[in-house]
Amino acid sequence: MTEKVVVIYSGGMDSYTLLHEALAQNKQVYALSFNYGQKHSKELHYAQKVCDDLGLPHKIVDITAIHQLLLGSSLTDDIEIPEGHYEEQSMKSTVVPNRNMVMLSLAIAYAVSIKAEAVYYGAHGGDHAIYPDCRPEFIEKMDAVSKVANYESIDVLAPFQSIDKTEILRLGIVKGLDYSKTWTCYNGRERACGKCGACQERLEAFQLNDLTDPLVYECEQSFEGIQGKVQKEKE
């Protein structure tokens, strides 16, 4: 019998690659997305389109009611999205309090209800510097709690936790994935800004793989700093 899994699917590059990784492993995938009041809710439209095209069961869960509790994050509050690389301290403003624990808890409950074996989420090594809920210790402890929280034991898996976005993109390119079907920018405008940490990391991943990002960006100057950084890494 094919193993059922729940994939937390934001509509971004990492979860898009993870979704296809699970499908390549012949898992029966149930995609789960969350609207938590994020400014970049545009990613949910990308997620829906991909799941529709693949014929996958997909739920977008509205948890915007918790927005009144999620204070102090530039992703949900009236705070400007910072520009610059993820490693910069300014990016700490993009931390949404307890976001992954909330999402994982709901995903685990969903997994139990549909008799799935595991929950997958796209935390990766490049997230460790800023996001505590993407680090190996958090993943390990959530997996342990998940196994005792219900009568059914549900695995919490983050297959990309030891690699970064550049390597994730490389995996997806080998699979022939189309990354024009993903949205990364923290600003939910018509075009990606190219300047926020999410855009910077994405652009860097494409540059390091000697590829051109298929998304259209607001400003060509966004690429200048990335090109310099990439050149240094390659030397």
What is the domain-level CATH number for residue 88?
Answer: 3.40.50.620
Domain count, the chain: 1
Instruction: Give domain status of residue 137, yes or no.
Output: yes
pLDDT for 196 beyond 60: yes
User: 104 and 138 in contact (C-beta within 8 Å)?
Assistant: no
pLDDT for 67 beyond 70: yes
Nearest to 12 by CA among 96, 143, 124: 124
**Chain-wide mean pLDDT for the chain?**
86
Instruction: Give domain status of residue 37, yes or no.
Output: yes
Instruction: Give domain status of residue 46, yes or no.
Output: yes
Nearest to 120 by CA among 42, 9, 201: 9
Instruction: Give domain status of residue 175, yes or no.
Output: yes
Instruction: Give domain status of residue 206, yes or no.
Output: no
Q: What are 167-193's pLDDT values in tens digits?
A: 999 999 999 999 999 999 988 788 999
Residue with tokens 């342990």: 144
- For residues 74 and 99, what is the distance between their CA atoms, to the nearest angstrom? 13
**Burial group, residue 142, by CB count within 10 angstroms (0-12, 13-18, 19+):** buried
Q: For the chain, how many residues are written?
A: 235
The pTM of this model reads 0.88
Instruction: Give domain status of residue 67, yes or no.
Output: yes
Range of the domain at 80: 4-188
C-alpha distances (whole Å) from 46 to each of 25, 60, 66, 181, 220 are: 23, 12, 23, 6, 23
Residue 143: strand, helix, or coil: helix
Instruction: Give domain status of residue 199, yes or no.
Output: no
pLDDT confidence of residue 232: 45
Instruction: Give domain status of residue 204, yes or no.
Output: no
